[in-house]
Amino acid sequence: MATDPAAAPSPETAHFIGVRHHSPACARLVARAIAALRPAYVLVEGPADMNGRLDELLLEHRLPVAVFSHYRDETRVATSWAPLCDYSPEWIALRDGRAAGAQVRFIDLPAWHPAFTERAEGAANRYADAEARYAEATARLCERFSVDSVDALWDGLFEVADDPDGLQERLDTYFDLVRGDAEADAGDRAREEYMASWVRAAVARSGGRPVLVVTGGFHRPALRALAAVGGTQWPEVPEPPEGALGGSFLVPYSFRQLDAFGGYQSGMPSPGYYQRLWESGAEAAAGELTRAVAERLRGRGIAVSTAALVAARSLAQGLALMRGHPYEARVDVLDGLAGALITDDLDRPLPWTTRGTLHAGTHPVVAEMVAACTGTAEGALHPDTPLPPLVHDVAERLARLGLDGAEGPVRLDLTEPRGLERSRVLHRLRVLGVPGFTRVSGPADSADPVFTERWEPSPKAGREAALIEAGAYGARLEEAASVLLAERAHTAGTDAGPLAGLLFDAVLCGVGPLSADLLDTLADRVGRVRELGPLGEVLATALGLWRHDRVFGVARGPVLGAVVAGAVRRALWLAEGLHGSGGGVDLGRLRALAAVRDALRYAPEAVPITREAAAEAAARIAGDPLAPQDLRGAACGLGWALGGAADPAATVRALAPDALGDWLAGLFAVAREEVGRGDGTLVDVLDDIVAAMTEDTFHAGLPALRQAFAFFPPREREAVAAHLLERRGRAGSARALLRTTADPLRLARAKALEAAVTDLLTRHGLRTPCRDEHAMGPRTSRPDEHTTGPRTPHPNEHTTGPRTAR
Amino acid sequence: MTVTEESTEPLLQRPPAEVRYADELAALRAADDGPRPPGWQMGLRAALRFVVGDEQAGISRKFVGNVSLVERALVTLATNRGLMLVGEPGTAKSLLSELIAAAVSGDSALTVQGGAATTEDQIKYSWNYALLVSEGPSPRSLVPAPMLRGMAEGRIVRFEEITRCPLEVQDCLLSLLSDRVIAIPELDGPEGMVFARQGFNVIATANTRDRGVNEMSAALKRRFNFETVFPIPDFDTELALVEAEATALLKQSGVTAPPRRDVLEVLVGTFRELRGAAERGERMSTVMSTAEAVSVAHAVGVRGWFLRGEPGTAADVVASLAGTAAKDSPEDLARLRRFLEQEVPRRKGGQWRALHDARHLLAD
């Protein structure tokens, strides 16, 4: 800083290295450049508001760690991460630059700056390598080089290339091509302008010694141009606007979080592999990867023969040769292993040919291969590092809510604001896996009418470590919890049970404004559930909370609205596709259709389907001869309830007697109220049908019929009975008609048994007319006995007749 | 899956790949200076370019799919393992094996077509019985089948639909693939053993719909490297392919109006959606391959042109789908109907609307 700040900038002293953010090859290039140039300044793309705390960053951490930045004002919440691992060029620039005596600086705008908001959706990775805006250019390059993915292209061109001297030139050519095509947006331009002002200021003060600038390769061409002209004052670090909260902190990170396969487009895949590449070179990394995959597979009991490994190795070497790699690259090894070890057809293309998450049901061999690439490293901060903001946030909240020194159990009344707030804090800690409190009682699911919770203090060992780790998810407790829940949603399968659990956790935690990701993911997952019954339960509980919740503050909220919408759509889709002739009643699917009815009736603003469209779908299901009878009945009821042109009486007339009970169960499950409100035509038709039944048919169908009418509460059943009495011109109490003293099913069974015995006797000629007359004597009276007295038919009774007869 | 018009062989409906692309093969062989595995007609990179195309060198793209899949396939063939291509019907497995055989051996005709009636005779060798009776067993009376010829001449042998062969017939490949020799016990002397020359290998194909590879013996499985061929992952690529193929087919059928792109978009979109439903556990029993999409597009164009003198519309798509895509399964028809009823209305765009409006054309 000895030179005159006003001296003309001499851009020749500035050396620009454009890097890919998680690239061992770029990291080596940076290290070599620092060793060769001995620069006065090393300027690194990264949040300038961290500059005051670079000492903290350069403590002896165990990598990976991340610079975590958060921002919150009245309209916007944003968080971003800048992950650093051993092979990050930025990390090497900071560490080696400092060691070489250079002044090191972050030179990019703070993460909260509006320049980032155009792309950052809630939570973003500053060091993203696979952004959509480069996609077109990189796709063309991939086609030209005949590779499947940009990661494979990059590895072949740079990571395993055996030519350190030409690396910089190739990098520059590559990024010029990428930049030449992609449109830099206003945010990029603002950032580049800002970074260039740092470069100019550093050049002006370097005394002619080199200035090394390490930024994403995308920015390099623009930076070179911008650094040549302009003022040379040190730029100011922007402060968050009045009333806004923002800052950057160090948090421990992990390879799992870094891996693109883990859910974020912006990671770099396979950090475990690249760590090895960085430590011991491409050849060793390839060998190690093969060994790790074989070990993992054998550990899981999947046979991996030596012959298969030999084949994998020769395949990998052949591929490397063919692709012009001096050593086997990551995809060569993976391709070799896949070719030799998988002897099945796959459901999906191999995951390393594209980017994105692993799907549920990935071939186990493939899943192990990906896991072996990911590695298990977890970062840890040096003990002297200031704690991440989450730790303070939690401490402050616990103190404010009187939960910090709790020795005994805590009872919370969820209907009180303070009780709810305390409950949410504890649930968020629970979701984040922070020990300290255990819930011993409280609502088990969203239908549980329990409004108190009891929490007991539990051992606090590992609490601070857990909090620091959770600090990587957010600066504030509710943000961290919702980011973690979203991550869980990303990895959730399509089983309704875990989804319902996740949803209820989201409700208990009271997820806040960062929940867009969680919301979309939950709705998407619900839209993929495969079973109608469980889906119906999710829908019913979500709808219940959406309509009635007074406790958790989620009524008419977006989270549940999205789930309701997704579930209704999916339920109709599944119902229309449900085929199968198996008789019987599946209450789950009937409840699902009832839930669809309620959603359309009470939450039309949340459901993207019109009543008409739903009624049409219901009509199609009701008329589908392949659909189960109970579902057809329920669909008929749904159409009726939605005001469609359903005519249940006509349908009932056309039903086969053995289908009647199941069909009615469906109808009554969904359209009970419509039946009650109706003019009784349906009951009349039913009465006619039942009256016309033969004894056998009636016996066979009785259990199902009874099950169907069980959907009516006693009062409505009484109304039906009264209607029947009136129709038959009988006087009497409808209630008495319903109150049989013995179980009618047992009566029916007794009757059937008697009939069978009589048959048997007749068949064996033991039932002569006179004896029959004799035997018939007491029998005729029996039905009355049963209906009036508590006597249950005992097998012995039946045998007494024949015995005396004999 | 690319249609080319070769006027040199007007008599053949579909000449083999080495004839269709003779010029490209010759150019690639001439320009190829890369290392060449023994017995191969060109190096691996040249073979790769032949299959996936190289615009600058004037090599057409013949196989649309993962490049790395083709790379793995070629490297496998250069090792001592066979190559097994598995996948849904209509994913261009046979085309891929034909192209690779043409590139590697200059000959794609050494083909065994697997089926329930395939016997060992058709794989290894049989006899000319008249000569056998009159002369006894001799090289003259021997009738070599593709496998024997491939071994003797050092060429790639294609084995189509291998899983449709009886298991015991499949297993006759075991010794052949590991020892690389066929014994002809009837012949004496050195002629009784035919050793494989360099360049011999096997490309088998199996589709996952009929009898899957699960029934294959483990011993045979481990003599192959498996490659799953997937439907085209990218919408635009598939659309472009369907458009090109359908246009060519329509021209052959005497239809001069090219298919409408917006109609093809909904057609391809429908195919992709129904194909993707398999991931959600709702697999169509009908194959929803690109090849099927091409044939529906063809049918649509033919309907539109010969019935009304215009390119086909979304209504023609519905009518053709009923016959082509939902061939004989009421379940598939129901699924298609459900898609038209519930999913299509959610899509934006004029032709999706037209498709929805025409749903009644899906006859029962």
Q: Is it the case that residue B252 has pLDDT exceeding 80?
A: yes
pLDDT band of residue A2 (cuts 50, 70, 90) is very low
A481 and A432 Cβ atoms separated by less than 8 Å:
yes
Each residue of A727-759: pLDDT tens digit? 888 887 877 777 777 777 787 788 888 888 888
Q: State the burial class of residue A672 (Cβ atoms within 10 Å of its Cβ: 0-12, 13-18, 19+).
A: middle
Nearest to A214 by CA among A49, A45, A451: A45
**Closest residue in chain A to residue B218, using alpha carbons only:** A343
At residue A764, the pLDDT reads: 87
CA A226 to chain centre: 44
Radius of gyration of chain B (CA): 23
Average pLDDT over residues B170-196: 88
At residue B42, the pLDDT reads: 93
Q: Is it the case that residue A383 has pLDDT exceeding 80?
A: yes
At residue A515, the pLDDT reads: 64
CA A392 to chain centre: 29
At residue A797, the pLDDT reads: 41
At residue A133, the pLDDT reads: 65
Q: What percent of chain A has pLDDT over 70?
A: 87
Nearest to B147 by CA among B162, B158, B161, B137: B158
At residue B327, the pLDDT reads: 65
Q: Do B228 and A346 touch (CB under 8 A)?
A: yes
A329 HSE (CA, 13 A, CB side): 26
Q: Is it the case that residue A413 has pLDDT exceeding 80?
A: yes
B337 HSE (CA, 13 A, CB side): 20
Helix (H) or strand (E) holding A83: strand A77-84
Q: Is it the case that residue A350 has pLDDT exceeding 80?
A: yes
Q: Cα–Cα distance between A660 and A583 in angstroms, integer? A: 11
A571 and A593 Cβ atoms separated by less than 8 Å:
yes
Handedness of CA A448, A452, A456, A457 (dihedral sign): positive
Each residue of B288-345: pLDDT tens digit? 888 889 989 999 999 999 998 888 888 888 888 877 666 667 778 888 888 888 888 8
Q: Cα–Cα distance between A585 and A670 in angstroms, integer? A: 13
- Any residues with CB less than 8 A from the CB of A331 and at least 6 apart, and which? A148, A149, A151, A152, A155, A319, A352, B68
- Any residues with CB less than 8 A from the CB of A422 and at least 6 apart, and which? A401, A402, A403, A410, A412
Nearest to A348 by CA among B342, B77, B233: B233
Q: Is B364 on the interface with A (CB under 8 A)?
A: no
**Closest residue in chain A to residue B230, using alpha carbons only:** A349
Q: A307 contacts in B (CB within 8 Å)?
A: 222
Q: Cα–Cα distance between A190 and A219 in angstroms, integer? A: 11
pLDDT band of residue A768 (cuts 50, 70, 90) is low
Nearest to A176 by CA among A187, A168, A164, A166: A168
User: Average pLDDT, whole number, for chain A?
Assistant: 81
**Closest residue in chain B to residue A495, using alpha carbons only:** B280
Average pLDDT over residues A43-69: 88
Statement: B17-228 belongs to CATH 3.40.605.10: no
At residue A774, the pLDDT reads: 45
Residue A704 phi, psi (nearest 5): -65, -40
A713 and A696 Cβ atoms separated by less than 8 Å:
no
- Any residues with CB less than 8 A from the CB of B145 and at least 6 apart, and which? B112, B121, B122, B123, B124, B125, B126
Q: State the burial class of residue A341 (Cβ atoms within 10 Å of its Cβ: 0-12, 13-18, 19+).
A: buried
**Minimum distance, in Å, between the CA of residue A356 and any CA atom of chain B:** 14
Amino acid at A697: T
Q: Cα–Cα distance between A369 and A316 in angstroms, integer? A: 14
Q: Cα–Cα distance between B350 and A170 in angstroms, integer? A: 47
Q: A617 contacts in B (CB within 8 Å)?
A: 341-342
Whole-Å CA distances, A46 to A42, A103, A127, A242:
12, 15, 9, 23
One DSSP character per residue, A454-499 reads EEEE---TTHHHHHHHHGGG-SSHHHHHHHHHHHHHHH--S-HHHH
Strand B82-87 relative to strand B201-207, pairing: parallel
Q: Is it the case that residue A194 has pLDDT exceeding 90?
A: yes
- From first CA to last CA, the distance across chain A in angstroms is 125
A798 HSE (CA, 13 A, CB side): 18
Boundaries of every domain in chain B: 17-228, 235-361
Q: Cα–Cα distance between A417 and A413 in angstroms, integer? A: 9
Each residue of A608-618: pLDDT tens digit? 888 888 888 89
Q: Cα–Cα distance between A265 and A262 in angstroms, integer? A: 9
- Any residues with CB less than 8 A from the CB of A301 and at least 6 apart, and which? none
Q: Is it the case that residue B150 has pLDDT exceeding 90?
A: yes
Range with top average pLDDT, A126-135, A440-449, B179-188? B179-188
Each residue of B273-301: pLDDT tens digit? 888 776 666 677 777 888 889 989 999 99
Q: State the burial class of residue A449 (Cβ atoms within 10 Å of its Cβ: 0-12, 13-18, 19+).
A: exposed
Q: Do A315 and B342 touch (CB under 8 A)?
A: no
At residue A776, the pLDDT reads: 43
Give the position of tokens 């090895």.
A276
Q: Do A319 and B331 touch (CB under 8 A)?
A: no
At residue A733, the pLDDT reads: 80
Q: B280 contacts in A (CB within 8 Å)?
A: 494, 528, 530
pTM given for the model: 0.77
Q: How many CB pairs under 8 A join A and B?
A: 113
At residue A333, the pLDDT reads: 93
Give the position of tokens 């449709």.
B164
Average pLDDT over residues B94-101: 93
Which of A286-295, A530-539, B88-97, B355-364 shows the lowest mean pLDDT across its residues?
B355-364
Q: B81 contacts in A (CB within 8 Å)?
A: 311, 340
At residue A380, the pLDDT reads: 85
Q: Which two tokens stand for residue A776?
A: 């018939």
A6 and A176 Cβ atoms separated by less than 8 Å:
no
Q: Do B68 and A353 touch (CB under 8 A)?
A: yes
A389 and A247 Cβ atoms separated by less than 8 Å:
yes
Which of A143-152, A682-691, B261-270 shows the lowest mean pLDDT across its residues?
A143-152
Q: Is it the case that residue A786 has pLDDT exceeding 50?
A: no
Nearest to A335 by CA among B37, B226, B65, B84: B226
Q: Is it the case that residue A427 has pLDDT exceeding 70?
A: yes
Residue A410 CB coordination number (10 Å): 20
pLDDT band of residue A129 (cuts 50, 70, 90) is low
Handedness of CA B95, B99, B104, B109 (dihedral sign): positive
Q: Is it the case that residue A802 has pLDDT exceeding 50?
A: no
**Minimum distance, in Å, between the CA of residue A519 and any CA atom of chain B:** 20
Q: Is it the case that residue B360 has pLDDT exceeding 80?
A: yes
Compare CB distances from B72 to A308, A339, A345 and report the shortest one's residue: A339
Which of A147-161, A440-454, A612-626 shows the lowest mean pLDDT across its residues?
A440-454
Average pLDDT over residues A230-239: 87
Q: How many residues does chain A have?
A: 806
Q: Is B209 on the interface with A (CB under 8 A)?
A: no
A73 HSE (CA, 13 A, CB side): 10
Tell me the angle at which helices B330-338 and B314-324 cross, rounded to the nearest 10 degrees: 160
| Portion 258-287 of B in contact with A at CB < 8 A | 279-282
Q: Do B331 and A617 touch (CB under 8 A)?
A: no
Q: Is B86 on the interface with A (CB under 8 A)?
A: yes
Compare CB distances from A577 to B226, B227, B282 and report the shortest one's residue: B282
Each residue of A704-727: pLDDT tens digit? 888 888 888 888 888 888 888 888
Q: Is A311 on the interface with B (CB under 8 A)?
A: yes
Query: Which of the 8 DSSP states describes residue B342?
Result: I
Q: Cα–Cα distance between A580 and A733 in angstroms, integer? A: 42
Q: Which two tokens stand for residue A334?
A: 């993976």
Each residue of A486-517: pLDDT tens digit? 878 877 777 777 888 888 888 888 876 556 67
At residue A787, the pLDDT reads: 40
Q: Cα–Cα distance between B150 and B105 in angstroms, integer? A: 10
Range with top average pLDDT, A684-688, A776-780, B70-74? B70-74
Which one has a higher pLDDT value, B249 or A356? B249
Compare CB distances from B225 to A305, A340, A616 and report the shortest one's residue: A340
Q: Do B78 and A318 touch (CB under 8 A)?
A: yes
Average pLDDT over residues A309-338: 91
Range with top average pLDDT, A254-268, A521-535, A757-771? A521-535
Q: Is it the case that residue A364 has pLDDT exceeding 50?
A: yes
At residue A510, the pLDDT reads: 81
**Minimum distance, in Å, between the CA of residue B133 and any CA atom of chain A:** 45
B124 and B133 Cβ atoms separated by less than 8 Å:
no
- Interface with chain A: mutation pick from B67, B161, B163, B360, highest number of A CBs within 10 Å: B67
Q: Cα–Cα distance between A445 and A505 in angstroms, integer? A: 9
Q: Is A444 on the interface with B (CB under 8 A)?
A: no
Q: Supply angle C-alpha B41, B44, B45, rounded to 5.
A: 115
Range list of β-strands (E), chain B: 82-87, 111-113, 125-127, 142-144, 156-160, 181-183, 193-195, 201-207, 224-228
Q: Cα–Cα distance between A61 and A79 in angstroms, integer? A: 22
Which one has a higher pLDDT value, A769 or B234? B234
